[in-house]
Structure 1
Amino acid sequence: MRNPLALLPLALLLAGCAAAEPEKAPATLTVWADDSRAPTLQTIAAGFERDRHVKVKIVQKAMGSLRDDFVSQAPSGQGPDVIVGPHDWLGKLVQNGVVAPVDLSAKAAQFPKVALDAMTYDGQTYGLPYAIESVALVRNTKLAPVAPRTFDELVKLGRKAKYPVGLPVDPKAGSPFHLYPLMTSFGSAVFGPDKRLELDDQGGLRFAAYLRGLAARKVVSTSMSGDVATSAFVKGETPFLVTGPWDQPVLAKSGVPFAVEPVPPAGEAKARPFTGVQGFYVSSKSANPILANDFLINYLGTAPAQKALAEAGGRPAAMTSVRAGDGWARAALDGVPTPNIPEMDAVWADWGLSQLAIINGQGDPAAVTRQAAAKIRAKIGQ
């Protein structure tokens, strides 16, 4: 019979090895966010860390460089697991293969169609929305007690003030974003469902003529920048302002009694602004994709998290159950997602310059619009 004491040194050795084996470090999720969202994300991440025994590292990045840094670093595995940003990044992110599809089937019913459409590219959903925004009409209820039904009616009412309306026009880049509701009311769009450029369709040409008319009547001007427009409204120099929820803090502090409503149409169709959607994306190169999706769906996709994030950014929440039914939200829900295709990057400059030429009376509006569209088609290969 073997002496059990003879096995003791071996048992002690094995026990010592087991005790010396280091504990496995918890998995780490890295999230890139800008300064306006990082603090809120840190609070949400604390619950995820507690429940999942995972470390979440929130890295604060400048929004201006976040997308391009992600595109350059993700392929080497040096980028984050999750990023936050606008939906119109999506085309470039998909084109570079740095984001993975996200299964929102369990959450889809909790979001409006415009938010889900914005996070979809070629039939695949790639992001979790959390906020929506668009331009709307801010009306001084003292100077204009009744909401105008059309843009022409708005102009007529606004003639009683120094400026008919505060409609921002960048003197160097034009105003495609702020003018888009009026353009869509003529039945036009920047891109059609088939991704073909439509700026110079019949509706677009009618809008170009209308824009020249607005400039001739001094309703729009290149001297009316965003800051000038907001200042004019706050001073009571105009009863109307076309802006977005980013101006809400200034408006709230101004003491001006105001209401927020969708921009009224100039043409026969509904005025539909560009709707921007903010959301979260999962890196296709994430070392922890299951955890990253868990964090998105089960933590960032909850009502408390959606509410906190939307409030931190000053935007209406995307999730229907926590979204306030105010004018900012109504306007955004009426809108269409800003195109998230890569070709959109090549559109803004020529489009905006054509608007400047029309406003400044340089050339026939239809010819200017067609020339801009031709330049854009040459750039995007259409």
Structure 2
Amino acid sequence: MTTRTRISRRSWLGMTGAVALGTAGLAGCSSSSGAAPAGPAGEGAEEPDQYAGERVDGPELVIWADSARVPAMVEASAAFTRDYQVNIRYQPLAFNDINANFQKAGPSGGGPDLLDGNIDWMGTLNQAGLLAPVELGARAQDFDQRAIEGWTMDETLFGVPYAVESLCVYRNPAVIPEPIANWAEFDALAPELVAAGVEYPLAIDAGNAYLWPGILSAFGGYVFGERDGQVDVEDVGLDSEGGLAAAAWLAGLVESGYVRPGTTDDVALSVYAENKVGLHVSGPWMAPTYVEQGFDFVIDPLPAGPAGPGRPWLSARGFMINRNSEKLALARTFLTQYLADTGPMTAMATKLSMESSWLPTRRADDNELVAALSAAGADAQPIPSAPELASYWEAAGGGLTAILNSQQDSAAAMRNSARRMRNAIEES
């Protein structure tokens, strides 16, 4: 995006593609990074169980969902209850608890009939035999096809996506008036920024492995290769020629002081108004805070690198069906005929700082900020759904942290990360 986008607080709160809830971003990814597992099913619920519409004398479908999603689903749920005489019972959980709890309860036949989740959960859950296929039919064309691709494994769809998000750059126009087209331009400009008192020419939580593919790919590196159009988990590319080049570039920025260890989103926000930040690499989850704080900012795509545009990962939220549900037909009908519609899809997107995966919702949304976030993520690629993705988070995060803290040569750090990934994949 090459022009400044000014968004008023009123227009932000009225948008349909995303709203001012800044806590949702990347929730799905953190669960894959070695976080401690949650407690038993139901533990961590933020609210009591909720029913949609009037209770009827009939069976019920149980849905585990992030509590932020439940109000958006009530209307569709009430219609389903009325039409099929089936109750819908929601068990609101903290989002990351859903995955851990289902992995515990699902194998023994427990858990919900449907569950809210993130695209990077699918591989592990499907490998464990916990997910039922989903058939969208003609409705599939109404979704962002990258989200459909991401929720597809072995040519079978296992989730219905409702929102997507990727990465973007928040540019401070008072510090950097024009967009940075490529990282070489930034490298040339950074010394001038430091001389002018800019403490964070590039504010990025560089140890966060979710952010790395967007930079890695711009230098020709990759996490997993491809073979015959499919993810090839045996081809780990962190230590490829492009991967080593990206790591060396990051190490150079750290050595020059253009990227500072310990930088987080909160750190960037704390000094942004003082014009101490040039570029802030993050995602849509930060947009509500930028607007609420009254910051002057521009949304740009990630700069390109020697290998071309960076391709950050696309995260997609969606609903899955428990393969062991005793009400599979009802669950499929509810998901594909009632939730996969403009009303609930739009309502769910408005409860997140994420872009809707439902194309009719996007086409009806003329908000400039939504358009800017969408344009910034145009080159994003779906997070690999392979179960082997779990090997990436800790291995890459450790290598990146070693580079940031100057604990290890960049090439050695990336080779070590790649070796850890290969060993974990071989042992899995």
**Taking structure 1 as the reference length, what is the TM-score of the superposition?**
0.88
| Secondary structure, counterpart of 2:224 in structure 1 | coil
Task: State the AA in 2 paired with 1:375.
Answer: R
**266, 276, 294: which one pairs with 2:333?**
294
For residues 209 and 270 of structure 1, the distance between their equivalents in structure 2, rounded to whole angstroms, comes to: 18
1:101 maps to 133
Of residues 273-282 and 316-325 in structure 1, the stretch that sits farther from structure 2 once superposed is 316-325
Provide the secondary structure at the position in 2 that maps to 1:177.
coil
The aligned residue for residue 340 of structure 1 is: 385
Contact 1:233/1:241 (8 A) holds in 2: no
Amino acid at match of 1:176: A
1:155 Cα offset (Å) = 4.8
Name the Cα RMSD after superposition.
1.9
Q: 2:224 aligns with which of 177, 184, 191?
A: 191
Query: After superposition, what is the alpha-carbon deviation per residue over 1:78-102, rounded to whole angstroms, capped at 9, x for unaligned?
Result: 3111101101000111011111010
CA displacement 1:209-250 (0-9 Å, x = unmatched):
111111112121212122102223244321321111111111
**Partners of 1:138 and 1:240 within 8 A in 2:** yes
More helix by share: 1
Q: Which runs of structure 2 are paired with 1:275-314 in the superposition (5 Å)?
A: 275-314=314-353
Distance 2:91 2:276 in 1: 43
Partner SS state of residue 145, structure 1: coil
The CA deviation at 1:156 is 4.4
Map of 2:148 onto structure 1: 116
Give the aligned partner of residue 5 of structure 1. Answer: none
Equivalent position of 2:159 in the other structure:
127
Deviation at 1:120, TM superposition (A): 0.9
CA distance, structure 2, for counterparts of residue 380 and residue 362 of structure 1:
26
282-291 or 359-368: bigger deviation: 359-368
The one of 193, 205, 217 equivalent to 2:256 is: 217
Equivalence for 1:154: 186
Name the residue aligned to 2:26.
none
- Indicate the larger mover: 155-164 or 106-115: 155-164
Instruction: Show structure 2 runs of 5+ residues with no match.
Output: 1-55, 227-231
Instruction: Kindly indicate whether the alpha-carbon contact (under 8 Å) linking 1:144 and 1:157 is maintained by their aligned counterparts in 2.
Output: no
1:123-176 deviation digits (Å, cap 9, x = unpaired) = 21100011000120112234333211112323544514332122124xxxx222
- Post-superposition Cα deviations, 1:26-63, rounded to whole Å, max 9, x if no partner, equal 12111100122122223331222122221100111122
AA at the equivalent of 1:190: V
Structure 1: any 5+ residue segments left out of the alignment? 1-23
Which of the residues 130, 136, 149 maps onto 2:168? 136
Per mean C-alpha deviation after superposition, the further-off stretch among 72-81 and 283-292 is 72-81
* Alpha-carbon distance between aligned partners in 1 of 2:152 and 2:63, rounded to the nearest angstrom: 21
Whichever residue aligns with residue 162 of structure 1, its letter is: E
> Could you say if the C-alpha distance between residues 74 and 367 of structure 1 is closer, same or farther in structure 2, counting changes exceeding 3 Å?
closer
Aligned residue identity for 2:121: W
Q: Is 1:242 the equivalent of 2:242?
A: no
| Paired AA for residue 167 in structure 1 | I
| Alpha-carbon distance, 1:337 to partner | 1.5
Mapping 1:313-332, distance limit 5 Å: 313-323=352-362, 324=365, 326-332=371-377
In 2, Cα distance between equivalents of 1:65 and 1:89: 12
Name which of structure 1's ranges 283-292 and 364-373 shifts more when overlaid on structure 2.
364-373
Q: Does 1:35 align with 2:35?
A: no
Residues 234 and 339 (structure 1), Cα distance of their counterparts in 2 relative to 1, 3 Å cut: farther
Q: Partner amino acid for 2:204?
A: L
Corresponding position of 1:12: none
SS of match in other structure, 1:242: strand
Provide the rounded CA distance (Å) in 2 between the counterparts of 1:371 and 1:270. 26
Question: Which residue of 2 is the match for residue 176 of structure 1?
Answer: 209
Aligned residues of 1:132 and 1:332 also touching (Cα < 8 A): no
Deviation of 1:301 (Å): 0.8
SS of structure 2 residue aligned to 1:257: coil
| Counterpart AA for 1:58 | Y
- Which aligned pairs between 1:71-110 and structure 2 lie closer than 5 A? 71-110=103-142
Residues 212 and 331 from structure 1, CA distance in 2 versus in 1: closer, same or farther, beyond 3 angstroms? same
CA contact (8 A) 2:170 2:282 kept: yes
Is the Cα contact below 8 Å between 2:302 and 2:309 reproduced in 1? no
Q: Is the 1:134–1:274 contact (alpha carbons within 8 Å) kept by the matching residues of 2?
A: yes
Q: Which amino acid aligns with 2:353?
A: G
Distance 1:105 1:189 in 2: 33
